[in-house]
A and B are shown apart, each in its own frame.
Chain A
């Protein structure tokens, strides 16, 4: 059974860097792409970006200047760094596996709430 688990600080100060890691268990990290998706409290879902095991990555243009997504295939982990955070970055952050052909997010982590404090 594939499982994804987010980990990282739940509280980040404004202007600092948010860092989260997603650990994948029960399945291969190859073949799929791996995404970060967030949800501000009481609001909808927002896709942040993806990475493949090859290291190929892309993200939403609105976040591109602040986002880095990386992968460590030996540890079956991928990570998100979001710099210069503000209160608007307070959200539940999900990691998710995207199967291909056809594409779909078939496995999700439980989510990690990150609060940006002033």
Chain B
């Protein structure tokens, strides 16, 4: 079992719809959860982070965390073609340092 698992997709949604991206992780001790967006040929950029159970909203993005189920998700409301990218889930490794397990990413295409 991989430390972080994501549906690889591809996921296609029409413009204006809600895109739902999911991630599960194996380490119950994980404390920090991040979502990065990576456009083709570019490096990852941070879009959301969450540390506590529940929802965290930032503009059109909502991160949801359920530590009991070891599940974290990202919702993108009112999806735009510019949201078309690969979304990477990252989970911290251990309790010290800045090291993370990354999922292999979910490819999202928003169809105009």
The answer to whether A binds B is no
A positions within 8 Å CB-CB of B = none
B positions within 8 Å CB-CB of A = none
